Homo-oligomer: A and B are copies of this chain.
Amino acid sequence: MQEQLKLDNQLCFRLYTAARLITQAYHPLLSGIGLTYPQYLVMMVLWEQDAQPVNDIAKKLYLETNTVTPLLKRMEAEGFISRSKGKADARQVIVKLTPKGRKLESQASCIPFQLGQAVACRSITPETAPGLYEMLDDLIHTLSSAGR
Interface stretch of the complex, out of A44-52, A71-79, A80-88, A93-101: A44-52
Residues of chain A from 88 to 140 with CB closer than 8 A to chain B in the complex: 105, 108-109, 111-113, 115, 118-124, 128-129, 131-140
Number of copies of this kind of chain in the complex: 2
- A19 in contact (CB, < 8 A): yes
Contact between B143 and A41 (Cβ–Cβ < 8 Å)?
no
- A66 in contact (CB, < 8 A): no
Q: State A129–B136 Cα separation when bound (angstroms).
A: 11
Contact between B2 and A132 (Cβ–Cβ < 8 Å)?
no
Contact between B22 and A139 (Cβ–Cβ < 8 Å)?
yes
Contact between A5 and B142 (Cβ–Cβ < 8 Å)?
no
**Knowing A2-B105, A48-B1 touch, does A139 contact B124 (C-beta < 8 A)?**
yes
Residues of chain A from 30 to 47 with CB closer than 8 A to chain B in the complex: 37, 41, 44-45, 47
Instruction: Please encode chain A, from 18 to 33, with 1 for each CB lying within 8 Å of some chain B CB and 0 for all others.
Output: 1111111110000000
Query: Which among A24, A118, A132 has the greatest number of chain B C-beta atoms within 10 A?
Result: A132
CB contact between A123 and one of B20, B120, B138, B146 (< 8 Å): that residue: B138
Neighbouring B residues of A17 by C-beta, 8 Å? 61-62, 140
Neighbouring B residues of A136 by C-beta, 8 Å? 14-15, 18
Query: A residues near B, CB below 8 A?
Result: 1-2, 4-7, 9-26, 37, 41, 44-45, 47-48, 60-62, 105, 108-109, 111-113, 115, 118-124, 128-129, 131-144, 146-147
